[in-house]
Amino acid sequence: MRLLVVEDDKDLARQLRGALGDAGYAVDLAHDGEEGHFLGDTEPYDAVILDLGLPELDGITVLQRWREAGRVMPVLILTARDRWSDKVSGIDAGADDYLAKPFHMEEMLARIRALLRRAAGHASNEIQCGPLRLDIAAAKVSLDGQAVSLTALEFRLLSYLMHHQGKVISRTELVEHLYEQDFDKDSNTIEVFVGRLRRKTRAELIETVRGLGYRLAVPDAG
């Protein structure tokens, strides 16, 4: 899952990137409203953390322009604790949730998990696909109750497939949602990671849909 953090406080931005990275997300940073608007308008993020008090272009304007352009990714806005009017303006502009500064990183992570699972149509922090179980909060995967050891990129790939199970996901979409902006992206590596996941789980769980991509599907019970 790939996230965008738009925050002009560079220390806080680095802290957010570190916490989100440790939780298994690919994270891009922007430090002003113009850069944040451009990235959010041109890159396929799964969710955005957006500060409202930004230079160049304020967060409300950024959010309004995204929504007017049809960008529907979940957005968590960051507000000053004593500015309740900012919270109202942010929600009215199209935000999905807000977090008042200062905040605990654990709360931020919980709110991001909630936004991502709701966007994918899941009500719980645990997503199951046949014998596979993804614990979103703990960032862990198990197969038939046994823990599966995955690298960071393997986890991102499987997590994305599990959030969108039953849907055919193209290699291009996987590349766009697995890697950060400045990463040297190569769609051929997706086949390598899919092969590793098949060996670590069960080969039949990840289907290749010829010419289209991959699909995570529950094996036929019969």
pLDDT level of residue 17 (50, 70, 90 thresholds): very high
The whole-number pLDDT of residue 222 equals: 42
Q: Which two tokens stand for residue 62?
A: 């950024």
- Which two three-digit tokens encode residue 111? 């709110």
Residue 209 confidence (pLDDT)? 92
Identify the weakest region by mean pLDDT among 14-18, 21-25, 187-191, 195-199.
Answer: 187-191
Instruction: For the chain, give every domain's residue range.
Output: 2-119, 126-216
Residue 182: the pLDDT is 67
Q: Using a pLDDT cut of 90, give the percent of the chain over it.
A: 69
pLDDT of residue 188: 73
**Cβ pair 16, 7 in contact under 8 A:** yes
Are residues 209 and 168 in contact, defined by beta-carbon separation less than 8 angstroms?
A: yes
Q: Which two three-digit tokens encode residue 143?
A: 């197969």
In tens, the pLDDT along 39-81 reads 999 999 999 999 999 999 999 999 999 999 999 999 999 988 6
pLDDT in tens, 76-135: 999 886 778 888 999 999 999 999 999 999 999 999 999 999 988 888 889 998 899 999
Q: What angle do CA 88, 90, 95 make, to 5 degrees?
A: 120
Residues 161-200 pLDDT 10s? 999 988 999 998 998 888 887 666 666 788 899 999 999 9
Q: Indicate the class that CATH gives domain 126-216.
A: mainly alpha
Class of domain 2-119: alpha beta
Radius of gyration for the chain, computed over Cα atoms and rounded to the nearest angstrom? 18
Q: What is the mean pLDDT of the chain?
A: 91
